[in-house]
Structure 1
């Protein structure tokens, strides 16, 4: 009640009172009745008539689309007939509904209860997604709308393909081992997801992804026909309609491109001058059209074709070669062509004979003649050109050795040899030669160079006799080789002779012959005399200090000269002293041999005396002689070379003892003679037995027949029976032969002296004064010096 007003208006004596009511109607007030009640006393009310309220209002909520009021997108399959119903509830009066949806056909509004609905039926095609709007209009309010976005779904398109993002047709070329992938593309609504794709090859699933790839790159066997299938499900928003599954597929051919493949390439070997065919065998690639190139690597000369014929191999043909087989590949998804190729390396080995390419000293690499100072280091090198590798021999040739090998290496192309400190002996012609399987050793190529080492003269190291022996009257030659550079001139060889005080130079004469050539000298002494046995000095110079000096010795070595001056003195009835003069011993120690006997005997007794240095006159006492007897003596000397060439002899008589009384002489002589004869016979028998037993020539009781003594004076072993002091001795006198082997000379008998037990000798003297006992002489240490002749058996009887 907003206000009540009254006025004094009187009518019919009544007071008229008016009351006005002002209010805002709401939708809740619609269809309500309104009336006015009045009361003035006692609370008695009077009601007025009623009025029905008709309140005009718009719906409180906007219209809705049945079944889809909670979604904003409506899924429909293309070309299908769809029906949407729009409903508006409330409002007084009900709202008017109108559709804006693909020019669809609207139904008549349908009022039911407090709502009004209206449907629209339409058909839509893909790519016509739009909005369907239901508009509610009302007189009491603004326009209200219900909007639904219509999403027109449709099946996937036929798959298409891309390689690395570039569309390709249904034939795809991919290079072998490439990491390229093929993608299957399709579009639709809903748009296919990655997992909606399936790749199959010969009904075998190879990928469940839109991308087809190959682990490690595609292989040749991966080529072929593939099928890509895309499958999607179209689910309409109208639940009264079943979902529609749609699968589409496309086929594609994978062509795997790959390079040609070479067969195994083998190295080739042939002899220089032979023919050779180079071959490049291969398996074609994809595409099969192939170009083959043979390339010689060191000079990049090429030949096109799978074979190349070389009619005559040269050394320059040796080396590494390549064989390349190539094709042209055009992979899908790329603008540029790809050259597919495979290259192999092989070697041509040209065998050829050895040749020496370089030889010399590192300090003089190109010289063929080199002169160096002594103690210089010589670094030799030798290089050969050879295939196969060579045996290399480095050596030298000099006057001592010809082609002496210093170093050898097998299977090499170079050799080095060092001489750390060169000397005279390194002056030589050096050579280097090489040979291999194709070179004859006898004709092996070689290079040579001459090396001269400046040095003073010295011995060459050869075997030279510095001590020479000779005989008087003969010749002796000293020869010697030196090494020296420069080579001494012939006048730089000087020979000297020792004169007892110093060396004095000798010159060419009848006595001396000197022949000097190069590094050799020969010095000859002619018609040697005793004075020539001396020391000689050779001096060699070549201008480089020091000079070379060498001493040579000429020594005698001949039979001795026979002693002379054989005499006797101081004879007694039982002894005599013999003297003689010694001469040159021939260079060897000599021994004097004294043979003596009574003239009526045929066998000699023997005494020896050794030479004493620097002694000239010798004497010896003969003892145990018979009185009143004539003795003959023979003297000669001997050394290791033999006997002197001529002996000497003499005769002497022993003194006569005082004569015995008459009548006794005969008995004495007879008894003595009988005893002596008995002793002689006994001795002869014993000697014969001993000689047979020991088989040697006894020097004791030595029997020498006159035949043995009768020699030609010109023979080496002859005994001159004509002594210088012969005292009437007749050289032609003969003697009775006594049992004696006559085929041996007197000196042959002396040669058996080594059969004795030692160097001293026993000899058997003649019986003195009728004595029968053995007489033994010891070696005399002072003058005269001699050795007694010994018996092998000291028990031998005395002659």
Structure 2
């Protein structure tokens, strides 16, 4: 029978999975042991085996032993069947096994029950528990911890503030520390860890480290950047044992200078001179600590220009823009070249380092045009006290050279017989000319006396520098002849010379006279009038005015109109309006200056045809097509029809004919009828001189409230002209 049982047991054991590890369980004499068999399923079958017995002592909750110290516990519904041994004896020591069978597969778990002996008598040599030890920073502290070992062997270790720093498998552990200020108030604990202990054995020592102050400047760091004018506050933070009691702020310069004895360093409105290395020193009984910060004061750059004056033949000419600010990262903008009077001449791109090299001009005579102010502009991103980010400096560069007759000089002047005349030349000269000569047509020097004199003046003159018309410092030379005679009709040569060379300018004196009659005169019909066009001729040396004379055929008297013409494509035109329909008229022209009148042109005959629709056109561009003209005529007719109602009560001016100051050809003139000029509107341009009408003949003016009439002809006039609408 026993043989059969053994065979069955061997068959069972052959199906058991024995891969589980053995678990040591410490039990004290007369104590209890609770062995928990891991459950796989509520449907599993659990068997417990004890040392010295081959058959199981239980199956599930059923016990096969009479030992009342053994019981089965657990949640049986969940398949938990744990073994409990009470009043543990020495004979109970051994291997306990449980098997869990699930679908003919058994899982085995082993428990090695041992009688445990906890370690005892743990201590840190020479120190009482919870004691405090005081040492200076840098000193050595040695701690030795011992324990009476138990069963199983305990682990002995040191912890610092809860973190393990040393471990030993023996009954002694040693720890040696070179103390630092970071060890201040640290707690060193020796622990013995054993499964025979419910709570580990331990003893602690607290270390108090005496150390010199540890100093920092908070968020400032080793370098501090601040804009000039702002307020600066730096807090000196110190930590030491014992507490610090003395603060000292110093600035490192040529000599160490005491700044403050307070923990906080405050400076209102910091200046660039305040930049430098600042140190905070804090002391206590143990020693002193120090923290430094380099205060960098940021400010907008100061701009200076380094240059040398040159001569016009110097090949290399340059200016250097020297900039000093913080930070030393600069952006350079274009240089500006200006005249002495501030007129802009040009912008120039410099080099990346701020220097400017003037271009070398192949024309020697234009080198003097580099004279003037040169402005350098730079920025480092920091604004000045006025909020300006860009800073500038300018210098006046002098380029010495020979005298130059500037661009506004003339080649001809006109004078009247026995009248005064002035020959004027303008000179730019650096340095000033040392010799000035005026020669006649035979290259002989002019002898000045009662009839002529030479006038020299310091003044501003106009010249063209590098394509720009500007005002520059110069000299005005005037040869004034009181009474012009035939001997004075000549070509005069002006010579100006200095140490760099000589320049020459020639002026021809011509006798002024009456103007030449207009050229290429044409007369064309327009609605209720005639359009006269012409080309200007020589003005006789003075400003001229143009007159149109007309009369109805069969009449002897001429009506004269002083024109205020519009110029287009070098042609001038004027419109005579309010002429009678189905009548023929004759037209001719002449011009006048202050000397007198020109001859008249040939006469031109024109018949005014009757038109179904009344319309008058003034100042229409001659080159427009017929279709465009008809559109404009219709538009003006509609506008005129509306405005004529408003203009009936308005005052009209009548042109007057004054006598000439000179003896003119006798002609018969009639006053112009006001009704013949109705609808003419004259607008003077801004460039026309208001006192040029020396004859006293005024254009007829009528008020017109329609702005569209003006807009249709704008920009057609040129200098010294009027617009007719």
Q: TM-score, normalised to structure 1's length?
A: 0.38
Q: TM-score, normalised to structure 2's length?
A: 0.41
Larger Rg, first or second structure (1 or 2): 1
